Amino acid sequence: MPNTLDRRTLVAMLASAGVIAITGCGQAKQSGNSQSRSESPPKVQAAQMTVYRDPSCGCCEAWAAIARQAGYHVSLVDRPDMPAIKAKLGVPEEVASCHTATVEGFVIEGHVPMEDVARLLKDKSEGIRGIAVPGMPRGSPGMEMPDGSKDDFQVMAFDAAGKLSAFKA
């Protein structure tokens, strides 16, 4: 198993380097549906973040590395029962992605940019249970492509009842 950990660490480091070299730390293409992205994730005050993921997922490691760069204390928890974790945390099926994180009582689903996580924690928007980037869009944090290709994506907010809305900047 040590080879797996070394390989995973290497994948996470390469993905982080790819973020900087290819996409400017998660900077997304502008469109009517995409939110603007800053050059680098904002630094946070050492919040504890737990990231639940399937043990075979590599992009989750890349997203966790980006969260660490932003200043979060990240714990990765391998769980083969991700649908049960998502259900327990109230993640609507429509926005399910590959990993689910918790930080300061909020749920972060999928490849959410760190600036959106930081804004959620700063604003502590009433009624929001969590935020999500549905699916696994190319070019989102942790899903950078070698050719620089990107999909438009929108960060969604969800409440305790599973009602979705755009997470506005």
Q: What is the pLDDT of residues 77-130, one digit of tens each?
A: 999 999 999 999 999 999 999 999 999 999 999 999 999 999 999 998 889 999
User: How would you class 95 by CB atoms within 10 Å of its CB: exposed for 0-12, middle for 13-18, buried for 19 or more?
Assistant: buried
Using an 8 Å Cβ cutoff, are 50 and 162 in contact? no
Please report which helix (H) or strand (E) contains residue 68, including its range. Answer: helix 59-69
pTM (two decimals) = 0.73
Structural tokens at position 26: 């998660």
- DSSP-assigned letters across all residues of 133-153: E-S--TTSTT---TT------
Residues in the chain: 169
Terminus-to-terminus CA distance in the chain, angstroms? Answer: 43
* Per-residue pLDDT tens digits for 30-76: 333 333 343 455 555 679 999 999 988 888 889 999 999 999 999 99
